[in-house]
Amino acid sequence: MTTTSLTSSSFSRRRSRSASTSVFFFPFFFTFFFLLSVKIDRIEGAIHQYEDAYFFSVSDAFIYRGGREGLFASKEDYYSFAGREDWGVVAPAGLANGKSYIRFNKVAFRRSLDAVADAGATAAEEEEENGGNENNNGGSEENSLVQAVVFEVNDRDRVGFVTEDGGRRYCCDEELAKTSGCAPGRVIVRPKVEMQEQIDPETNEKKMVEVENVDWPWVTDAYFEGADQLESRTVDDAVSIEETGMYYLWFVICDPKLAGTTVNGQTAWKNPSGYLPGMMAANLPFYLFLSLAYLALGICWAINCAIKWKYLMQIHHSMTFVVSLGMIETCVWYYDYSNFNTTGFRPYFVTIFAVVVSAARKAVSRALVLVVSMGYGVVRPTLGGFAPKVLALSGAYFVASATLDVVANVGAIDDLTSGARVFLVLPVAALDGAFILWIFTSLSKTLAQLQQRRQMAKLSLYRYFTNALALSVVLSFVWVVYEMWFKVTDAFNEKWEADWITAAFWHVLNFALTAVICFLWRPMEPEKFVGNKSGSVDANDSFWSEEEMSAMDNEVAAAGGTSAHHELGGDSDDEEGGGAGKME
């Protein structure tokens, strides 16, 4: 084969691969711009906004759940160690001040016109019964109220009353008031019992005694002052967080006449270092370190490619793209969380961009592992008829993964119910299973071919790769079992501080596998690539044989024809000696 024909065929292959690459990236850009076309001004996060939100009927009450977040306790000496515990946090002056709180900002309640009419009629009847005495209308006003309740997840049993049949009641009536001491028409809240250290007056010794904290769970009232009042007074209080925990905010109505009431306003949930919720707080330093790790990997890979540029193949460009996606993804996620921490909102553009890049990185990474398992760049110079199938599976995975990530990250941080999550996770899990099955099937065939042809250097390379994949699959299985146990045993998010680890593991595993592939398939001289242990080149272990190169040229020449076949014999890896050219 002459140098001119090799150059010509190489140029044709580059053009063909460029066309395939353009087709491959089309769904990414299409999905990206489609998501950007959706009109959403901003994404809720630590700033929970309420815009005409309706209450839901729960047992004997009407409840609207105003938010749920993990909050760390306030710190008095925050600045003395903030640089160590929250390295990488970017916050404006005064935000990372060590204070943790839930602040109500103009939270008001609006009742329906029917409720106003009923309240007016009730007030008129009471006025008649009392002979026009306007001062004796307290009963109506006492019931025309909405209460806000803040409690920690471990104090959830202190809100409401468990009946004999196992049910739960949230509102007090005359009957319950006699037995429990609650106030009729109000939400039932039992004070938290705390252990305090006191000095015994008789012995002057310190001892621990139980004391009721009447200020916790925290409760505040919003009255409709007057029978004709459409809106209640606004709530502008703030709850200081003194203990680390998962905190809930409920708005509760016990008056059935206020069933159509809506809530407006917003609440700000702040941690000592900023607005980033406690469940996400560890993601900020994690993505910082991961972006640095990808940067180090990218620098090492770029240096190696620059030194060995003469030996670069198409698969090396694919690996460069995967490493670049990893760097971009981690940097964008870090910026997203940093902005979230400083403002309490997640910028829509940045979050969508991070989601799309993340989904693209996942799809391309899996496609890279698959084509490597097929022997692309080592056993076969092209994918042949497998290329459309790989692209189809990767595109489907991108769409499924992007959908899951968009729903999980775009919107309030606690909006995604477990049922919706399972519904969206199933397609991703099924496609992951398809990738794993295809990868190990292809890997088994590639190992068998290398073993049969006694290409020992390539066989050793693929054995290392197989061991790395097998280890990653075992770790993945163990981690999935751990995640299931974690979710089952944490129905109320009591382990919220460790929740970030479940997602971080997959990023670390992906980075490790990418680093292994970059090391095994690094650019190198053909002599080193196929050399045996003595350093000489095995005649049976050439990189690509003349027959393979000839078959590849024939495939390019017959492109678009119906008789073109892959050098391994069409789409089959099992045909020994089939096709226009045979492997050694």
Cβ-based burial of 134 (10 A; exposed 0-12, middle 13-18, buried ≥19): exposed
* Residue 473 sits in the same domain as residue 513: yes
* Residue 418 sits in the same domain as residue 455: yes
Looking at beta carbons, which pairs linking 574-582 to residues 24 or more positions away fall under 8 Å?
A: 574/445, 576/452, 579/551, 580/550, 580/551, 580/554, 580/555, 581/545, 581/547, 581/548, 581/550, 581/551, 581/552, 581/554, 582/547
Across the range 52-61, mean pLDDT stands at: 90
Domain's final residue, options 247, 270, 293: 270
Residue type, 292: L
In 3-state terms the chain splits into helix, strand, coil percentages (rounded to 5) of: 50, 15, 30
Q: How confident is the model at residue 164 (pLDDT cuts 50, 70, 90)?
A: confident
The DSSP bridge pattern shows strands 245-253 and 145-152 to be: antiparallel
* Residue 128 sits in the same domain as residue 159: yes
* 3-37 helix and 546-557 helix, angle to the nearest 10 degrees: 60
1 lies in some domain: no
- How many other CB atoms are found less than 10 A from the CB of residue 187? 26
* Residue 9 tokens, joined: 């065929």
User: Which range has the worst mean pLDDT, 1-15, 58-72, 271-285, 489-503?
Assistant: 1-15
Residue type, 254: C
Q: Length of the chain, please?
A: 584
Secondary structure in 3-state letters for 246-283:
EEEEEEEECCHHHCCCEEEEEEEEEECCECCCCCCCCH
Domain count within the chain? 2
* Residue 453 sits in the same domain as residue 532: yes
* Residue 243 sits in the same domain as residue 354: no
DSSP H or E run through 572: none
108 lies in some domain: yes
Higher pLDDT, 169 or 211: 169
What pLDDT is stored for residue 415 in this prediction?
A: 45
Q: Which of 2, 496, 569 is nearest to 271 (CA)?
A: 496
What pLDDT is stored for residue 71 in this prediction?
A: 92
What is residue 294's DSSP assignment?
H
258 lies in some domain: yes
562 lies in some domain: no
- How many other CB atoms are found less than 10 A from the CB of residue 523? 19
20 lies in some domain: no
* Residue 388 sits in the same domain as residue 261: no
Strand-by-strand arrangement of the 218-223 sheet: 56-58, 61-71, 245-253, 145-152, 218-223
* Residue 141 sits in the same domain as residue 177: yes
Q: Which of 351, 352, 347, 397 is nearest to 370 (CA)?
A: 397
What pLDDT is stored for residue 440 in this prediction?
A: 92
pLDDT at residue 323 is higher than 60: yes
Tell me, what CATH number does 519's domain have? 1.20.1070
The DSSP bridge pattern shows strands 101-110 and 61-71 to be: unpaired
What pLDDT is stored for residue 211 in this prediction?
A: 82
Across the range 430-441, mean pLDDT stands at: 92
| Chain segment 497-537, per-residue pLDDT in tens | 888 998 899 999 999 999 999 998 888 876 655 544 433 34
DSSP H or E run through 34: helix 3-37
Q: Is the dihedral of CA 400, 403, 409, 413 positive or negative?
A: negative
Q: How confident is the model at residue 422 (pLDDT cuts 50, 70, 90)?
A: low
Do residues 24 and 16 make contact, with C-beta atoms less than 8 angstroms apart? no
CA distance 102 to 91: 18
| Chain segment 288-302, per-residue pLDDT in tens | 999 999 999 999 999
Across the range 473-478, mean pLDDT stands at: 93
DSSP H or E run through 297: helix 283-307
Domain that residue 186 falls in: 47-270
Residue with tokens 């054995």: 463
* Residue 347 sits in the same domain as residue 317: yes
14 lies in some domain: no
Angle 297-302-308 from CA coordinates, rounded to 5°: 125
DSSP H or E run through 442: helix 418-452
Stated pTM of the model: 0.75
- How many other CB atoms are found less than 10 A from the CB of residue 213? 12
* Residue 405 sits in the same domain as residue 539: yes
78 lies in some domain: yes
Do residues 329 and 507 make contact, with C-beta atoms less than 8 angstroms apart? no
Please state, rounded to an integer, the average pLDDT across all residues of the chain.
76
pLDDT at residue 346 is higher than 50: yes
* Residue 189 tokens, joined: 């809240």
4 lies in some domain: no
* Residue 116 sits in the same domain as residue 247: yes
* Residue 288 sits in the same domain as residue 380: yes
User: Which range has the worst mean pLDDT, 378-387, 439-448, 478-487, 560-569?
Assistant: 560-569
| 315 φ, ψ (degrees, to nearest 5) | -65, -30
CA distance 71 to 152: 10
Domain's final residue, options 242, 270, 298: 270
- How many other CB atoms are found less than 10 A from the CB of residue 193? 10
Across the range 64-78, mean pLDDT stands at: 83
Using only C-alpha atoms, the chain has a radius of gyration, in whole angstroms, of 33
Q: How confident is the model at residue 322 (pLDDT cuts 50, 70, 90)?
A: very high
Domain's final residue, options 222, 250, 270: 270
pLDDT at residue 313 is higher than 70: yes
* Residue 252 sits in the same domain as residue 318: no
Across the range 199-206, mean pLDDT stands at: 76
User: Which range has the worst mean pLDDT, 40-54, 172-186, 414-428, 506-520?
Assistant: 414-428
| Chain segment 114-134, per-residue pLDDT in tens | 766 666 666 666 666 665 554
